[in-house]
Chain A
Amino acid sequence: MLTYLIRRILYVIPICLGVTVLVFGLVHLAPGDPLSAVVPPDAPEEMVQELRVAYGFDKPLPIQYATWLGRVLTGDLGVSVARGREVTSELALAVPNTLILAVGGTLLGFTLGAFFGGVAGYFQGRWIDKLATGIAITGVSVPHYWLGLVLVIIFSVEMNVLPAIGMGPNGSSTWVWDTEHMKHLVLPIITLSVIPMGIITRTVRATVAEILNQEFVQALHAKGLLNHQVLMHVVTNAAPTTLAVMGIQLGYLLGGSILVETVFQWPGTGSLLNSAIFERDIPLLQGTILVLAMFFVFLNLLVDLVQSAIDPRMVR
C-alpha cells in the first residue's frame, strides 16, 4: 500500500513537468512574436530589440524555459500585460470564485446522477430506467451555455425571481455567504451540473447493472442478507468508478466553464481565460492554464488515492 502511494505521488512530478513544457510552448506555438502583443507595430526596431533582451526572448528556448520554470517554482507567474498586476493575485481572486461554481455544480450533478443512475441500474429495462436514461442523454446533449441563456430568460427575464448575471449584488466580485450571493449561484450551478449529471447517471447505471449481474450478489442474497444490506455492498462496489468519474468532471468544470462564466459574467478563471485570450495577455493565459492543469493533475491523484483506499484490487 505504502509503496503504491509513494509511487503514485512520484508519478505526479513528470506529469507536472510535462504540463509546464506544454504551457510554456503555447507562447511559441502561437503565430507571431510573443512581443508583438505588447509592442505597437510601429515601434522602432532598437526598442523591440531592447525589450526582447529585457524579457529574455533572445536566448535559446531551453534556457528561456529553464528560467521561466525557475520563476514558476518560486511562485512567480509574472505580470499580466493587460492589467499590470501580478498573475498570482489575479488568480487568487478568480480561483475561489470558480471553485464555488465547480464544486457546487459537481455536487449537484453527482447527487442527481448517483440517484438517477442508481435507480436506472437497479430497475434496468423498466420505465423508470428509460426515464432516467432519457434525462441523462438530454443532460449530456444540451449545450450548457444555451441552457444558461434559456434559464436566464425564464427565471430572470420572464419571472424575475433570480439574478441574471454577476456574483452578487451591485457587481460584487468578492464572495460572501449571504442570501443575495447565494441567489446568484442558483442558475450557474444548475447550468454547470447538467453535463456531470448526465455522465454520472450513465456511469452509475452501467456500473450498478454490471454489479447486479455478478454472481456475488446472488451469493449475498443466498446468505440471507436483507435488500438494504445487499444494496450497501452494491454501493461500495460502485463507489470507486463513480468517484473517479466525479473527480474528472470536477476537473473539467474547473477549467472548462469559460462559456458558462461568460454567459453569467462570473468573475472566475473562465472569465480570466476569456479576457486573456482576447487581450493576448500571454503571462495571464500561461499562469491560468498552468494553475488549472495543476488542479486537474492533483484531482486525478486524489481520485486514484481514494479509489485505492476503497478497492483493494487497485493496489498492485
Chain B
Amino acid sequence: MSELRTSANQPIVDVRNLEVTFVSRDSTVNAVNGVNFTLQPGEVLCILGESGSGKSVTLRALMRLLPRQAQISGCVTVGGKDVLSLTERKLADLRGSEIAMIFQEPAVSFDPIYTVGRQITESIRRHENVSGAEAQQRALDLFERVQIPSPERRLRAFSHELSGGMRQRAMIALALACQPSVLLADEPTTALDATVQIQILLLLRELQRELGMAVIFVTHDVGVAVEIADRIAVMYAGRFVEIGPTKKIINSPQHPYTKGLLSSTVNSSSRGKRLKAIPGSPPDMTQLPIGCAFGPRCDHVHPACRAQVPAETQLAGVDDYMVRCLLADGPLELT
C-alpha cells in the first residue's frame, strides 16, 4: 500500500469499461454503461450528475457494494487488486482498510443499537491485530481528528443521540479508521443543513490534504464539486460525458450537457436573470437511445449523434481531458 502511494505514476484506482446492469424479472436497468477513469494517489475526483445518472452505482461498484441482482462487468483495480475477481474474503479485507466509504445519510448508516465508538473499534479490530484498549484509543484520536467536542462521551453515544453534523463527522472517523488510501464519499453533505455542509466539506478537504488520500466524491452540487475537486467527471445516463481538470471544465465546458448543467446553477452573474433549465428529462435507463443519450435533449443534435454513442475523445491541446461528444473537437462542426 505504501509503495503504491509513493509511485506517483501508478494510479490507485483504475476503472475500465465498467458496466452495471440491474436485472429483475420484468426489466433490465442499465445503470452504468462503460465508465473509464483513473485516479492518482492523493487526487480528488468529483463525479457530478443528476439523480439516477449512475454516479452512486459507479461508486459502489468500486467496492462491489451492490445488491445481488446487479451484474458488474469491466475491470476495476484498487491498489493493484482486481476488485471484480476477488474472493468474498479478500474483498472484505480490502473494504474498510484500503478503500472506505462515507454514506449520504449518516442517520441510517450506523447500527442504531451499538454505540458509535464500538462500531469504530469493531472496524479497527477487524482489519488490524490490536488490543481493545488500543482500538479504543485510536477511536478517541479519530474523534478528535474530526473535531467532535467531548469525544470520550460521544464515543459512548448511540447514533440517534448525535446531531446530523456530528453523525457525519463520526461517519468520517469510521471511514478513516484504518487509514484507507481511497475514500469514497457518496453525497456526504446532501442530507445536512447548509452551514453544516460547509463545515463537513472543509473538514474533508483538510483531512484529505493531511492524509494524502485519494477521494472520489459524488455530488449533484456544482458548487461542492468546485470547492473540493482536482478533476470533475460529469455523468449522464451511466456514462462519463466529460472528465477533466476542475478549472477547465468550469471555464470551458465542452459537452452540451455540462454547459446546460453549469448555466442552470445560481451564481453572481446570473442575478436578476432567469435560470436556464435543460429541456426534457433524463432518459429511461431501461431503454437508452442507440446514439448519444443526451441527443433527445440537445440543442445541437446532429443525425450522426443518433447513429452511435460518441466515443471518448481526448481534447486536442489539453492534457487529461476527455469528452464524449461529436461536436466537441470532433469530426463535426458546431451547427
Partner of A223, one of B100, B108, B113: B100
Check A172 for interface membership: any CB of B closer than 8 A.
no
Give the residues in chain B near A225, CB-CB below 8 Å.
92, 96, 122-123, 126
Instruction: Judge whether B111 and A223 touch: CB under 8 Å.
Output: no
Instruction: Judge whether B108 and A216 touch: CB under 8 Å.
Output: yes
| Stretch of A9-17, A257-265, A305-313 on the interface side | A305-313
Instruction: Judge whether A216 and B109 touch: CB under 8 Å.
Output: yes
B242 CB, nearest partner CB in chain A, Å? 28
Instruction: Judge whether A226 and B92 touch: CB under 8 Å.
Output: yes
Give the residues in chain A near B108, CB-CB below 8 Å.
214-216
Check A130 for interface membership: any CB of B closer than 8 A.
no
A305 CB, nearest partner CB in chain B, Å? 16
Partner of A224, one of B94, B109, B112: B94
Give the residues in chain A near B37, CB-CB below 8 Å.
none
Check B65 for interface membership: any CB of A closer than 8 A.
yes
Check A83 for interface membership: any CB of B closer than 8 A.
no
Which single residue of chain B is at the shortest CB-CB distance from A233? Answer: B111
Bound CA span A216–B112, Å: 8
Which single residue of chain B is at the shortest CB-CB distance from A217? Answer: B111
Check A6 for interface membership: any CB of B closer than 8 A.
no
Could you give, for residues 115-153 of chain A, a 1 whenever the CB lies within 8 Å of some chain B CB and a 0 otherwise? 000000000000000000000000000000000000000
| A225-B122, A226-B89, A313-B158 given; A220·B105 CB < 8 A | no
Bound CA span A157–B93, Å: 59
Per the 8 Å Cβ criterion, residues 158-192 of B in contact with A are 158, 160, 174-175, 177
| A215-B103, A229-B126, A313-B158 given; A222·B112 CB < 8 A | no
Bound CA span A237–B110, Å: 12
A230 CB, nearest partner CB in chain B, Å? 10
B151 CB, nearest partner CB in chain A, Å? 19
Check B97 for interface membership: any CB of A closer than 8 A.
yes
Instruction: Judge whether A236 and B126 touch: CB under 8 Å.
Output: no
| A223-B95, A227-B88 given; A310·B174 CB < 8 A | no
Give the residues in chain A near B92, CB-CB below 8 Å.
221, 224-226
Give the residues in chain A near B101, CB-CB below 8 Å.
219, 222
Bound CA span A220–B111, Å: 8
Which single residue of chain B is at the shortest CB-CB distance from A218? Answer: B65
Give the residues in chain A near B205, CB-CB below 8 Å.
none
Instruction: Judge whether A224 and B88 touch: CB under 8 Å.
Output: no
A225 CB, nearest partner CB in chain B, Å? 6
Give the residues in chain A near B94, CB-CB below 8 Å.
224
Which single residue of chain B is at the shortest CB-CB distance from A239? Answer: B113
Give the residues in chain A near B63, CB-CB below 8 Å.
222
Instruction: Judge whether A224 and B96 touch: CB under 8 Å.
Output: yes
| A215-B105, A223-B95 given; A233·B65 CB < 8 A | no
Instruction: Judge whether A312 and B113 touch: CB under 8 Å.
Output: yes
Check B138 for interface membership: any CB of A closer than 8 A.
no
B297 CB, nearest partner CB in chain A, Å? 32
B25 CB, nearest partner CB in chain A, Å? 10
Interface centre among A223, A224, A233, A310 (most CB of B within 10 A): A223
Give the residues in chain A near B103, CB-CB below 8 Å.
215, 218-219, 222
Bound CA span A224–B175, Å: 11
| A222-B101, A223-B126, A227-B88 given; A313·B93 CB < 8 A | no
Bound CA span A224–B89, Å: 9
Bound CA span A216–B123, Å: 14
Give the residues in chain B near A216, CB-CB below 8 Å.
108-112
Give the residues in chain A near B113, CB-CB below 8 Å.
236-237, 240, 310-313
Interface centre among B93, B109, B177 (most CB of A within 10 A): B109
Bound CA span A224–B101, Å: 11
Give the residues in chain A near B123, CB-CB below 8 Å.
223-225
A316 CB, nearest partner CB in chain B, Å? 11
Per the 8 Å Cβ criterion, residues 19-62 of B in contact with A are none
B178 CB, nearest partner CB in chain A, Å? 8
Per the 8 Å Cβ criterion, residues 118-150 of B in contact with A are 122-123, 126-127
Which single residue of chain B is at the shortest CB-CB distance from A237? Answer: B113
Could you give, for residues 264-303 of chain A, a 1 whenever the CB lies within 8 Å of some chain B CB and a 0 otherwise? 0000000000000000000000000000000000000000
Give the residues in chain B near A223, CB-CB below 8 Å.
95-96, 100, 122-123, 126, 174-175, 177
Could you give, for residues 186-220 of chain A, a 1 whenever the CB lies within 8 Å of some chain B CB and a 0 otherwise? 00000000000000000000000000001110111
Partner of B109, one of A215, A236, A240: A215
Instruction: Judge whether A222 and B65 touch: CB under 8 Å.
Output: yes
Going nearest first, the 5 A-B pairs with the smallest beta carbon separation are A224-B96, A223-B96, A224-B95, A223-B123, A215-B108
Q: B residues touching A (Cβ–Cβ < 8 Å)?
A: 63, 65, 88-89, 92-97, 100-101, 103, 105, 108-114, 122-123, 126-127, 158, 160, 174-175, 177
- Other A-B contacts than A215-B105, A224-B96, 6 sampled, CB-CB below 8 A, are A223-B175, A225-B92, A225-B123, A233-B111, A233-B114, A312-B113
Q: List 12 interface pairs A-B (beta carbons < 8 Å), by A numbering.
A: A215-B109, A216-B109, A219-B101, A219-B103, A222-B96, A223-B123, A223-B175, A224-B126, A224-B127, A226-B126, A236-B113, A236-B114
